[in-house]
Amino acid sequence: MKQDRRNFLKTLAIGSAAQLISAKSRGARGLYSQTSHDQIASIAHDPLRPEFHLLPPHNWMNDPNGPIWWKGQYHLFYQLNPHAAVWGDMHWGHAISPDMIHWKHQPIALAPTPGGADSEGCFSGSAVVLDGKPAFIYTGVQNAPPAETTLHDGNDKLRETQMLAIAEDSHLLRWKKIESPVIATPPQGMVVTGFRDPCPWREGDAWYLGIGSGERTIGGCVLLYRSHDLRHWEYLHKLAQGKPNGKVAVNPCDSGEMWECPDFFSVSGQHCLLYSSEDKVFWTTGEYDAQQHRYTATRTGVLDHGSAFYAPKSFLAPDNRRILWGWIRETRPEAQFAAAGWSGAMGLPRVLTINSEGQLEMNPAAETAKLRGPAESAELKAETPCKQTLATLRRELLIPLDHAKPKISIRLSTTGKAIWELLIDVPASLVTCGDITFALPPTLRPDDALRIFIDGSVIECFFAGRECLTSRVYEVRPGDTELEISLLAGESFRVTQWPLEAISPDRLTT
């Protein structure tokens, strides 16, 4: 059973879940809140836990928040429950890195304020620089009477408002919250399906802000606001509007009547809008009218075809690359990840561009090459599959796609049983992985390739820079998992692999 970022709300009144929310006063500044030495040791030796992806030392992680480059460091914040490995009691975790690969954990950046507008959680948001200081704009939630609730997913007890916090030091360790919400309610007269995940940008002498929202029977949307100081906002109109998918669902995200985590930006001289809904992430590219402040999508697609990638957030690196982070969620039963003591990971940094045809392109950041050990190369022949037992579950594969139009199988097996298989049929422009099927780009370029990153239970695949697939595989075991690459049709060619280094000695990524 998948545990998405909202399903936990339906269980707040059941068993220990309610106790998690009431526990927010305990250990809010610590990363190891009430976790024993034995539990930490167990997590550090869990073979399913990634070793070069960012994740907190333990407990629950979801959406990336407020990525920013500041004073020579990359800062990445994220949704964190410091008390358990299930969703609830949302704080903002914090990690820093010189290269987006090697991370050091920092104290929790934001915690709910008892009695405040974020008393029931500091939900997702963004970071900008205001008057020389980094600032967070994020969604705070608190209990409210039915007439004032905005989060309508069957639980209907929380009011969402938009909050502001300003950094008080250059290391971004201390944050001063503005006590009152800077946007307290949705637009007048609008009955929303949600009101969260603010996405700001600067345009001329003003700030603009998109907020994820939607309406029943009308569809998900992004609400557009304008401000000159981040504190006082005026509602303009909808930046973009979607349509329902025709399903009847308690949770409007399932029916396309709510868009979560919008991200609106320009790249490669064009504009892009990302949003999360219907259990996946959609990308759109299109035209933005800077006079009327309206966006019209002209092309759309799915950002990642797997069921594990959700709620991404991008930022501009100091070299002007548009970098995207995404939450890699669990796809195993909640009881299993709760018992494991950890849940979720951050995807590898992806560089976004838009080609001349309006297609969003995604490639792993060049910094990932820092993880590589010595290259290993082998010729792949139809009659001789490449087989190897993985002593560690850290691997990168590079497979050419344009060469001789091959048909390839990449398979992982444990104790002789196939646990994951990827089929790439280049002549048919088709990719299959379990019950997932999608098309390859119909025209391949000379250097187009498939890049696969294996890290514990996480597998991230990049197809010719234009399609992605993230999988979770929980049957992998180091020393007992075999990687097999088979050429099913086409001429022989060379496959390159690299062993990848762990970013910490104990899987705690700090």
User: Active site residue: 63, 118, 304, 448, which one?
Assistant: 63
Taking the C-alpha atoms of residue 148 and residue 195, their distance in angstroms, rounded to an integer, is 12
Is 131 annotated in the active site?
Answer: no
Taking the C-alpha atoms of residue 239 and residue 262, their distance in angstroms, rounded to an integer, is 11
Residues whose CB is less than 8 angstroms from the CB of residue 404 and which lie 6 or more positions away in sequence, other chains included: 490, 491, 493
Three-class DSSP category at 32: coil
Strands 481-489 and 386-389: antiparallel
- Burial per residue of 97-116, b for 16 or more beta-carbon CB atoms within 10 angstroms, e otherwise: beebbbbebbebbbbbbeeb
Three-class DSSP category at 377: strand
Secondary element (H or E) of residue 42? helix 37-44
Contact (CB, 8 A) for 54 and 456: no
Contact (CB, 8 A) for 331 and 308: yes
Three-class DSSP category at 51: coil
Taking the C-alpha atoms of residue 104 and residue 450, their distance in angstroms, rounded to an integer, is 30
Residues whose CB is less than 8 angstroms from the CB of residue 446 and which lie 6 or more positions away in sequence, other chains included: 402
- Burial per residue of 22-54, b for 16 or more beta-carbon CB atoms within 10 angstroms, e otherwise: ebbeebbeebbbebeeeebeebeeebbbbbbbb
Taking the C-alpha atoms of residue 120 and residue 160, their distance in angstroms, rounded to an integer, is 10
Taking the C-alpha atoms of residue 92 and residue 122, their distance in angstroms, rounded to an integer, is 7
Active-site residue set:
63
